[in-house]
Amino acid sequence: MAVEVSTGTVGVLLDALNSLHGESRRDAALYYDAKLAFEQGSTLATTSLATYDALVIKETAARGLSEAADAAVLAANAAIADEETSRGYLYCELGAVPAFTGQDAGFTAPTDYWTG
């Protein structure tokens, strides 16, 4: 910023005008920086919201998969119990003695299914 050196009124007025222009340029630069920061913040907020929405969708999908896995485990356990019951009935009908898994612990095998 050039400073006019003059003792006259015109020189004083030019100095004041030059000073006001300097202030206007500083204000314009501050406004530009603030506007740029606001736009970047708006973009960040939009991106953050989109990321949050995507995470909510993924969390919902993961919860659904977890519930499906729990249901599959329950169904498998029910199928195992049903199979064991069916085998027990089949062994009884055929008059056979079911396999006894407690022999390793020192137990003796039952003589038949009913008296075990």
Count of domains observed in the chain = 1
For the chain, the distance separating the N- and C-terminal CA atoms, rounded to the nearest angstrom, is 108
Does residue 20 belong to any structural domain of this protein? yes
Residue 43 covered by a domain: yes
Residue 103 inside a domain? The answer is no
Please give the single-letter amino acid code of residue 63: R
With a CB cutoff of 8 Å and minimum separation 6, the contacts of 87 are: 98
Distances in Å between the alpha carbon of 30 and those of 13, 15, 26, 92?
26, 23, 6, 92
Domain that holds residue 36: 10-95
> Which residue's structure tokens are 């020192």?
106
pTM passes above 0.85:
no
For 53-102, how does the pLDDT look when each residue is reduced to its tens digit (9 = 90+)?
999 999 999 999 999 999 999 999 999 989 888 887 777 666 665 565 55
pLDDT tens digit sequence for 1-27 = 455 455 578 778 888 888 888 889 999
Residue 105 belongs to some domain of the structure: no
Answer whether residue 107 is part of any domain: no
Q: Is residue 101 part of a domain?
A: no
Q: What is the pLDDT of residue 11?
A: 77
Q: Burial, 81: exposed, middle or buried (Cβ in 10 Å; 0-12, 13-18, 19+)?
A: exposed
